[in-house]
Structure 1
Amino acid sequence: MVFKDITLYTEKVKQDMYASGAALVIMKDNHIVHEWYSGTHHFEKGARNIDSSSQFNVYSVRVTYVSLAFAIAIYEGYIRLEDKLSDYLIEFNKEILGETTIRHLLTRSTGLKIKNNSVQRVFKAGSAIEGKRPDLLANILLNITGKTVNEILREKVFKPLNLTSTEWVTEGKNNLVCDIHSPDRCPTLRVGSNIGDDRNLYVSAKELALWGNLHLNKGSYKGKQILPKEIFNYVTTIQSPTSLPKHFPKFGFLWWIKDNEFSWEYNELGSDLPEGSYQILGASSCSCTVIPKLNVVAVRMYNSLYEDFDYVKDIQRYSNLLVSSLKNL
């Protein structure tokens, strides 16, 4: 079995992090070459088995959805990468925002700490990296286009691809996989608005793989160009400012991009991934890995928010196992 090792590893991690369910979908050359499901939606009695219709909360994976909507707005001329944040975040101190641009926000290098109605300068823009702020991007997007992230993507992506298991969830339903916080806590569901700015995006493993595959094919789906290639060139190639030190991780529009100059100790990308590969990882350990040089997309789903687990070491080992498995195809 070509994917035996990575499947066994995925099951082992499910147990190690106290997840109740897991899924693995691998696509190569636009076809699913491996599909695997394990466990249940939670640990309580009567829990539904994980299957192809199970929707997992993907947490930070959602930032790639926000960034694609933003890339569409850039392509359509609503905003430019080098526009200053102060032109859009008018409620904050303009002097502190300074020369910080939309590029800095999309590549996690603003150097700003924004909380409630205040902003602080933590480091010089473009000199280090920070956490993701998809909420700011979503708010800017709404102000400049009059549309939410969800509205843009539903029109431009979800409907053309017939994605019916991808949604910002506003209420519970039986195909949603619950979050497991620890072995002794009750399972939960995270629901909210369907604007697209919060951590309530639930996606099936297959549809997350299709999402990655749309990026791999630069907007082409079943021979039809759904979105212009230029949009995906923004999103999936290095956009980090040139001022960023070479040893720091590089980003497209919030995707981690494999760059062989990168040597910083915090690294979500396995050492064996080819240069140009890109990946996103969520708090529940859901991930989407795209390897253009091998024409591969791999999606892994879990439902654990257990904190006592080395997520970085795990995702590195997983992506290296993925590459070694693909050599046997």
Structure 2
Amino acid sequence: MGFFNELDQYTNEIKNRIAASAAAICVMKDNKIVHEWYSGFHHFHNGARKVDELSQFNVYSTRVTYVGLAAAIAIHEGAIKSLDEPIRSYLMNYDSEVLGNTTIRHLVTRTTGLQFQGNGVLRKFEEGMSFEGKRPEILASIIKNATGKTVAEIINERVFKPLGMTQTEWRTAGKETLVCDINDPNSYPTLRLESNEGSDRNLYVSARELALWGNLHLNEGSFQGNQILPKELFECVTSVLTPSSLAPHLPRLGSFWWIQDKNVTNSEIGPELPEGTYQILGASGCSCTVIPKHKAVVVRMTNSLWTFGGKNGFDYISDIQRFGNLSEMALNQYSKLTY
């Protein structure tokens, strides 16, 4: 039965609306893939590769959850003292007085009140009082200073290798399975190739492996009966870490994951998704939504940068909320008719 037909159809409509050449959906429930859908090509020009299960999309801001987990590992193993350790202890090149009492917690919940500009930093707001953009490169620098390892080294060793993940890579060179970015429907497609250290916007992931990443969080570090990482790491990164000083209508985050809170009016998460849901969204339209109520993970992939941030009249918040609400509806139908 077509439990996920409406989800596929909506995603195909959005693919066309945002001038994406490629799209994919992967749904995992109870540790197995229950639905996959692939559409389009890696770019619009002749000879483009057809999208399939090996296609790797640039997930953009979705990558910050990988940085967040690396930080949690560093804290658990004592390289970073605690979530509430001042970041000035690890950032010697910045003015410690300006950094003040800003902590790792403020960094992963996007509430530092700081504006980083190259090697300088300015204070715009008191820490814990405003919601701001992500700065995963600052956290990655702290991790490297504290552990001597890059985010990529930590996550490759502790996650990718144990799970056998081979379609998740910080790419520095082109590859046949990489899906191009569409910056404009009339422009040439591009690939973002940067550092392999794990903080830049060059993390390419297949739909299946992004679902597997979400499922590792859902299972609190367990994979095929083995505890790959300590359970408490995942209890931490997917629970609300946002300081209580932040106004209640502003987003509540774990370690960069958006956490469903029905009291929050400024959220990317669809209002029909249940409490306990957590999600991350990237500029290209890629998202990973983890829904513990259903023991499910829903991944969406697209490859357009043409409409993100309100460009060309596209409301990306309404879009991802609609996708989440449709996911909840589909999973409810699936559960009722298959259990």
TM range (shorter): over 0.9
Q: CA deviation at 1:121?
A: 1.0
Q: Percent identity?
A: 58
Counterpart residue number, 1:321: 326
Distance apart, 1:58 and its partner CA = 0.3
* Equivalent position of 2:236 in the other structure: 234
Task: Kindly state the Cα deviation for residue 116 of structure 1 after the two structures are TM-superposed.
Answer: 0.9
Residues 87 and 142 of structure 2 are in contact (CA less than 8 Å); yes or no, is this contact kept in structure 1?
no
Determine the structure 2 residue equivalent to 1:269.
269
Distance 1:117 1:230 in 2: 34
The aligned residue for residue 22 of structure 1 is 23
Q: 2:59 matched to which residue of 1?
A: 58
Moved beyond 3 Å, runs of 4+ = none
Question: Secondary structure of the residue that 2:23 maps to in structure 1?
Answer: strand
Deviation, 1:229, is 0.4
Structure-1 separation of matches of 2:217 and 2:23: 23
Which residue identity does 2:18 align to in structure 1?
M
Aligned match of 1:97: 99
* Structure 1 residue runs without a partner (length 5+): none
Matches within 5 A, 1:61-100: 61-79=62-80, 80-100=82-102
State the AA in 2 paired with 1:318: F
Q: Does 1:213 align with 2:184?
A: no
Partner of 1:189: 191
Gaps of 5+ in 2: 335-339
- Rounded to whole Å, the distance in 2 between the matches of 1:118 and 1:165 is 36
- Structure 1 distance, partners of 2:49, 2:92, is 48
Displacement of 1:182:
0.9
Specify the SS of the correspondent of 2:24: strand
Q: In the TM superposition, what are the counterparts of 1:289-308 in structure 2 within 5 Å?
A: 289-307=289-307, 308=312
Partners of 2:301 and 2:214 in 1: CA distance? 14
Please name the residue that 1:3 is paired with: 4
In the aligned structure 2, how far is the partner of 1:147 from the partner of 1:184? 41
- Residue 22 of structure 1 and its aligned partner are, at CA, apart by 0.3
Q: Does the residue aligned with 1:251 lie in a helix, a strand or coil?
A: coil
- When the two chains are superposed, the root-mean-square deviation of aligned CA atoms in Å is 0.8
1: CA distance between counterparts of 2:91 and 2:146?
12
- Give the whole-Å Cα distance in 2 for the aligned partners of 1:162 and 1:43: 32
1:326, distance to aligned residue in structure 2 (A): 1.0
1:124-273 mapped onto 2 (5 Å cutoff): 124-264=126-266, 267-273=267-273
Instruction: Tell me by how many angstroms 1:294 deviates.
Output: 1.1
User: Displacement of 1:287 after TM fit?
Assistant: 0.2
> Whole-Å Cα distance in 1 between the matches of residues 93 and 173 of structure 2?
32
Aligned partners of 2:276 and 2:320: how far apart in 1?
A: 17
Q: SS at 2:45's partner residue?
A: coil
Deviation of 1:261 after TM superposition, in Å, equals 1.8
| TM-score, normalisation: structure 2 | 0.95
Q: Distance in 2 between matches of 1:52 and 1:141?
A: 32
Partners of 1:92 and 1:65 lie apart in 2 by 24
Letter in 2 for 1:41: H
Q: Which amino acid aligns with 2:195?
A: S
Secondary structure of 2:44 counterpart: coil
